[in-house]
Amino acid sequence: MRRLVLDHTTETTLIAVTVLLCIGLSFGTDRFLTVANAFDVLNISAVNIIFAVGLLVVLISGGIDISFAVAASVVQYVTVLALGALGGGNWAEGFLIAGVVGTGLGAINAFLVYRLQIISIVATISTFNIFFGLLMFFTKGVSIYNLPDWLSNRVVFYEHEMADGSWVELTLPVVVMILCCVATSFMISRTTTGRKLYAFGDNPEGARRFGINIGAMQYISFGWLGLMAGIAGLMQAHYAQEVVPNALYGRELDVLAATVLGGARLGGGKGSVLGCVLGVLLVSITQNGLNLMGVSPFAFKMIVGAIILTAITLSSARLDKLLPEALKSSSRKGSQRS
C-alpha cells in the first residue's frame, strides 16, 4: 500500500485535493454533493477527458500539441458535411469518418515533426493556425444547426429519478469517454508500443539505440491524439447539438493544463490515464461548485488558475524542496551558471 502511494504521488495528491475540495464545496452549497450533480460533472467533462487522454500519449512520447482542439472543429465540419453527402449516415459512419479525419490531421503533425524535424510546439502552433484559418475561410464562420437526428438526439444509457426529483443520467459521451480511457490505458501500459512510447519520450537517444522506430512513435502518438480529437469533436457536436467553428477554440490550453496537472511531464516519459481523468475532473468540479455557489463567472478563470497552481505545487514539488537548506543549494547552481 505504501509503495502504491509512493509510486503514484500525483494521483494520490490529486485525489486528496479533490476530496478536500468536495468537502469544502458541500458546505458551501447543499446542491453540490448529490449523485445527480456528480453525473452532471461527468457529462460535462467527458469531451475534455477524451481530449486529455489523447494529449497524454503525445506528452508521454515527449511532444506537445496545440492544434488538436481546432482539429476537432475541422473534424466536426468535415464529418457533418460528409454525412450529409452520404444521405444522413449513422453512428458507425459518423465514428468512422471522424476517426479517420482526426487521425489524418494528427498524421500531418507527425509528418512535420518527424520528416521536417520541426519542434512539436512550433509545428502544432502552425497547424493550429492553418486548421483554424482554413475552417473559418471555407465556412465563413457559419455554424451548422441542422444536424442529422441520430446525431443531435440525446442517447441515454441509464436514467433514474432521484427522491428529490433530480435525474441521474449516463449519456453517450460518458460511455465513449470510458472506452477511450480504457483503450488508451491499455495501449500505454500493457503493450510493447506503449513501453516504446514511454522510452522514446524519456530518452530519445537511448530508445534509438535500442532500434526503436522513431518515425512510428511520432505517427502513433500524434495519430492517437488525432483519433481521440476526432471522437471528442463528434461527441461535442452531439452534446451541443450544433457545429460552431470556434466552439473548441482555446480548449487546448484547458486540456493541456489539466493533463499536466494530472502528472504528465512536458519533457516526456511520464503520465497516466488516471492522472489525466483526475486533472480534468478537478477543474470541472471547481467550476461546477463555483457555479452552484453563485460565484460570478468572471472570477472562474482566476480561481481555477489558483487551484491548478496549488495542486501542481503539492504534487510535483516535493515538500523538502521548499526547505531553506535545499533552496540554498539550488540557488548556488543558479549563480554558478552566471
Partner 1 sequence: MTVSHPLLSLKNIKVTFGGVRALKGVSFEVNPGEVHCLAGENGCGKSTLIKVITGVYTPEDGAEFLFDGKPIAAMTPTLAQSLGIQVIWQDLALFGEMSVAENIGFQLAVKGKYGLIDKSAIDAAAKKALARLGIELDIHMPLKELAIAQRQIVAIARALVGEARLVFMDEPTASLTQSETDYLIEIVRNLQASGVAVVFVSHRLAEVLEISDRITVLRDGALVGVYPVEGMTQSRVTELMTGRNFDSAVIAADHDDAPVVLSVKNLTRHGEFSNVSFDLRRGETLGITGLLGAGRTELALTLFGMRQPHSGEILLAGEKVRFGSNRDAIRAGVAYLSEDRLSLGLNQPQSIADNLVMASLDRILSGGLISSSRKANVVAHWISELGVKIGTPDDPIRTLSGGNQQRVAIAKWLAIGPRILILDAPTVGVDVGARAGIFDIVRKLAAEGLSIILISDEPPEVYFNADRVIHMVEGRFQAVYDPRQTSLTELESAVYA
Which residues, in sequence order, are CB contacts of 74 under 8 Å at separation 6+? 101, 105, 131, 134, 135, 233
Q: To the nearest whole angstrom, how small is the minimum distance from the Cβ of residue 313 to partner 1? A: 20
87 or 334: CB nearest partner 1: 334
- Considering only CA atoms, which of 267, 208, 217 is closest in space to residue 62? 267
CA 99 from centroid of its chain's CA atoms: 16
Q: How far apart are CA 226 and CA 71, in angstroms?
A: 8
Q: To the nearest whole angstrom, how small is the minimum distance from the Cβ of residue 279 to partner 1? A: 18
Q: How far apart are CA 219 and CA 290, in angstroms?
A: 40
75 or 188: CB nearest partner 1: 188
Within 10 angstroms of residue 76's Cβ, the number of other Cβ atoms is 30
Which residues of this chain interact with partner 1, rule CB under 8 A? 3, 7, 189-196, 198-199, 202-203, 205-206, 209-212, 265, 269-270, 332, 335-337
Q: To the nearest whole angstrom, how small is the minimum distance from the Cβ of residue 195 to partner 1? A: 4
Q: How far apart are CA 201 and CA 135, in angstroms?
A: 32
190 or 301: CB nearest partner 1: 190
Q: To the nearest whole angstrom, how small is the minimum distance from the Cβ of residue 261 to partner 1? A: 18
Q: To the nearest whole angstrom, how small is the minimum distance from the Cβ of residue 233 to partner 1? A: 28
**Alpha helix locations (H) across 61-171?**
68-85, 91-114, 120-139, 149-152
129 or 191: CB nearest partner 1: 191
* Sign (positive or negative) of CA dihedral 23, 25, 29, 32: negative
* Sign (positive or negative) of CA dihedral 336, 315, 27, 290: positive
264 or 282: CB nearest partner 1: 264
Which residues make beta-bridge pairs with 47? none
84 or 204: CB nearest partner 1: 204
Task: Output the nine-digit C-alpha cell for 10.
Answer: 500525483
Backbone phi, psi, residue 168, to 5°? -100, 125
Q: To the nearest whole angstrom, how small is the minimum distance from the Cβ of residue 175 to partner 1? A: 25
199 or 307: CB nearest partner 1: 199
Q: To the nearest whole angstrom, how small is the minimum distance from the Cβ of residue 55 to partner 1? A: 18
Q: To the nearest whole angstrom, how small is the minimum distance from the Cβ of residue 207 to partner 1? A: 8
| Identity of residue 13 | T
66 or 261: CB nearest partner 1: 261
Q: To the nearest whole angstrom, how small is the minimum distance from the Cβ of residue 193 to partner 1? A: 7
Instruction: Work out the burial of residue 285: count CB atoms within 10 Å of its CB; fewer than 13 is exposed, 13-18 middle, 19 or more buried.
Output: buried
Cα Rg of the chain (Å, integer): 21
Q: How far apart are CA 250 and CA 53, in angstroms?
A: 17
DSSP 144: B
115 or 332: CB nearest partner 1: 332
